[in-house]
Structure 1
Amino acid sequence: MDWDKLRIFHAVADAGSLTHAGDQLHLSQSAISRQIRALEDSLNATLFHRHARGLILTEQGELLFDATKAMMRRLDTATARIRDSEEEVFGELRVTTTIGFGTLWLAPRLPKLFAKYPELNIDLMLEEQVLDLPMREADVAIRMKEPSQADLIRKRLMSVHMCLFASQDYLAEKGMPERPEDLTNHRLICQNPRSAQVGAGATLVQELMTNEIPALLTVNNYYGVLQAVLHNLGIGVLPDYLSRDFTQLERVLPDIHSVEVPVFLAYPSELRQSKRIAAFRDFVQEEIILYRKEVQKQADS
C-alpha cells in the first residue's frame, strides 16, 4: 500500500476536511482528492461520506484510520528516540497531569526547567482524563494514583492530602471555626463531588456536607476553588501543597483532611533512554525535594 496515500488519508481523516488537510500538507485540494480516490480504488472501498460540511469516515475508513493512528504513534516514538541526543535535551515533550496539579504546582516551577534546557518545548496537557501513555497520547504523566497500564516505568513522587483552607482576611472577618459543626456558619468552596477529581477529595467533601452546610460554591477544578478562597468567599477544600506557595492561606480545622493521595510520575518503557524524559523526571524530583525542605522549614519556624 502506498505510504504517501496513507499519509494523506490520515491527515484528511484527522482534519475532517480537504481544505484543512491541504493547509497542513501544503497540497491543493484537487491533489489530495486525487490521492484519496486512488486509495479508495486500490482498496475497492469508500473511505469517506462527503457532504457540504466536510467529510465523515465510513466504517471502512474508521478501520483504516485506526491503523494509521497506530502507525503515526510508532513513528512519533521512533522519531523521539532518534532525536534524543547523547549530549543535549531538545524538542517537544508532551506532559499530562490534572488541572489542579498542573496549574498550581507544576506550571509555576517550569521556568527553572526552561532556564536549564532552553531548546526543550513542553506541551502541557491539563485534564482529569487519564491519557494512554503506551499509545503515545502523551510522553509522560503525573497522576494522582498509581498507573495501572502495562509497560510503564513509574516513580512515586510525593503524597498529597486534601485539607481546608481560608484566607487570613476572611478568617479575620468571619472567625476561625473550632469544630466541624462551626462550618454551618461559613461558605464551603469545593469541587462538585460528581465531577472528575481525586477520589479522596470527593469523599472528604461528602463527609463535610453531613454537617448540613447551607452556603456552598462548587467549581469544576481546584484552580477555581483557590481563586474563590483567595478572594475571601469562604473555606475551600484544597491540596496541602498550596500552603508553601500561597502564604496568605491558613489551614482550617487541621485535624480534618482526606486520606493520602499518592502522586506518581510515569512514562512508556520504550522511552527509558529519552534524554527529554530524564531531564523532566530529574527536574520534578529535585523540585519535590526542595518543596519538602521548605515545608519542613516552615513547620519548624
Structure 2
Amino acid sequence: MTAPDWTHIRAFLATADTGSLSAAARQLGLTQPTLSRQVAALEEQLGVLLFERLGRALLLTEAGHELLGHAKQMGQAAEAFTLTASSQSQEIEGLVRITASDIFSVYLLPRVLKVLADRSPQLQVEIVADNGLRDLMRREADIALRHVRPEQPELVARRVQDAQANLYAAKTYVHAHGAPQTLADCSQHEFIGFGDLGRIIDFLEPLGISLTAKNFRFNSHNGLVAWDLVRQGFGISLMASEAGDNTPGVIRLLPQMTPVLFPIWLTTHRELHTSRKIRFVFDVMAEVLGHRTKNAP
C-alpha cells in the first residue's frame, strides 16, 4: 500500500477535531465536497471506515480512534517542519502576523507600525485583532501581544510594559449623571461590561468598587464596541490609560485612585524567534512599547 496523501490525513484530522465536514472544510479553507472526497479517498486507501454518522454529527469509529493518535503526531511533525523552515529566513521582508486584543490593536500597535514602516519598508504586517488567545503553535500568528504570560515551554515571552488602567467616562455621562467622588460612589453608577460580568465584578471588588450585574445595563465581548459605548456616554469603565487618555470626549475619574497595573507580554514561538524578520519585529515592539517601563524583567 502506498503512503497516504498528507492532504487526506489533514482532512481526517480536521474532521475529527470539529466533528463535522462543513466545519472542517471551513477550518481548512476548502469546499465541503472537496473535503468529503479527501476523507473518502483516505478511507478507501486504508480499507477502513473512519467515521460513522449520528444525525448531523460524525463520530470516530474504533479504527478512526486508533489512527487518530498517529495522525496527530504527523500533524505536529508537519507544524514543526513549517516552523523550522520559517526560522531559516534571513530577509527582513515578507509577512509577519501580530495578534493583539482589539483595544491594543487600535491604541498600542500604531506606534509600533510607524517605526516598522520607517526601518523596514519591505516588511508586511497583518494585525489579527482578537480578544482570545490565538494559537502561535499552529501559526495563526507569529507574535502575540497579551497581558497574560504563556505557559507553553515552546513559547518565549518578554514582559515589555506594566501598563496602567483607570476609571473613565464620557463628559456627556458626567454632565448627565455626575461623577463618583469616592470608590464607594461607583455602586450608584452605570458601568459598561467587557465580556464576563462575573469576572469584572470579582476583579473590581478588591479595589473597593462594589458592583452587581444591575450596574451593567450594557455589555459586549468586543472591546471596541464596549469602549465606544463608554465614549457615547452610556456608562463608566476601567480602561488602559493608552486608550482612555487618548479618546476625545472621555475623561479620567477619581484622580485620587491608585491606577491598576497590568503586565503586557510579547510572545513568539521559540523556533520562530530565530527568524530574522520575526526577531526584528519582536525587538522593535519591545523597544517601542517598553519606553514606558522602568522595571520590566
Interval of TM-score (by shorter of Structure 1 and Structure 2)? 0.7 to 0.9
Q: Partners in 2 of 1:222 and 1:182 — Cα distance? A: 25
1:10 corresponds to which residue? 10
- Structure 1 residues 242-265: Cα deviation after superposition (integer angstroms, max 9, x where no partner): 134314321101233564211111
Q: Are the equivalent residues in 2 in contact too, given 1:159–1:263 (CA < 8 A)?
A: yes
* Distance in 2 (alpha carbons) for counterparts of 1:31 and 1:177: 63
SS at match of 1:260: strand
Secondary structure of the 2:191 match is: strand
1:225–1:153 Cα change, 3 Å: same
Q: Does 1:76 align with 2:82?
A: yes
Moved runs in structure 1, 4+ residues, more than 6 A?
A: 27-31
TM norm structure 1: 0.73
Does the Cα contact within 8 Å between 2:245 and 2:252 map onto a contact in 1?
Answer: no
Q: Tell me if structure 2 keeps the 8 A contact 1:189–1:228.
A: yes
Contact map agreement 2:160 2:266 (CA 8 A) in 1: yes
Secondary structure at 2:156's aligned position in 1?
A: strand
Q: Structure 1 residues 249 and 28, CA, compared in 2 at 3 Å: closer, same or farther?
A: closer
Q: Which residue of 1 aligns with 2:173?
A: 170
**Paired AA for residue 68 in structure 1:** M
Label 1:78 to 1:55 Cα distance change in 2 as closer, same or farther (>3 A): farther
Equivalent residue, structure 2, for 1:204: 204
Task: Structure 1: state its 5+ residue gaps.
Answer: 294-301
Residue-pair matches, total: 281
- Asked if 2 retains the 8 angstrom alpha-carbon contact of 1:181 and 1:211, the reply is no
Give the conservation status (yes or no) of the 8 Å contact 2:192–2:235. Answer: yes
Deviations 1:68-90 (CA, angstroms, capped at 9, x unpaired): 321231132133124x2x33321
Shift of 1:232: 0.7
Cα distance change, pair 194–180 in 1 and its aligned pair in 2 (3 A): closer
Contact 1:89 1:276 in 2 (8 A): yes
Whether 2:194 is the aligned partner of 1:188: answer no
Q: TM-score, normalised by structure 2?
A: 0.74
RMSD, matched Cα: 4.0
**How far 1:136 moved relative to its partner?**
4.8
In structure 2, the partner of 1:87 is 91
- Structure 2: runs of 5+ lacking an equivalent: none
Give yes or no for contact 2:12–2:39 (8 Å, CA) kept in 1.
Answer: no
Instruction: Give SS of 1:149's match.
Output: coil
State the identity %.
Answer: 19
Does residue 126 (structure 1) correspond to residue 121 (structure 2)? The answer is: no
Give the whole-Å Cα distance in 2 for the aligned partners of 1:101 and 1:205: 25
Task: Report the CA distance shift for 1:7/1:207 in structure 2 as closer, same or farther (over 3 A).
Answer: same
> CA 1:7 to 1:31, structure 2 compared with 1: closer, same or farther past 3 Å?
same
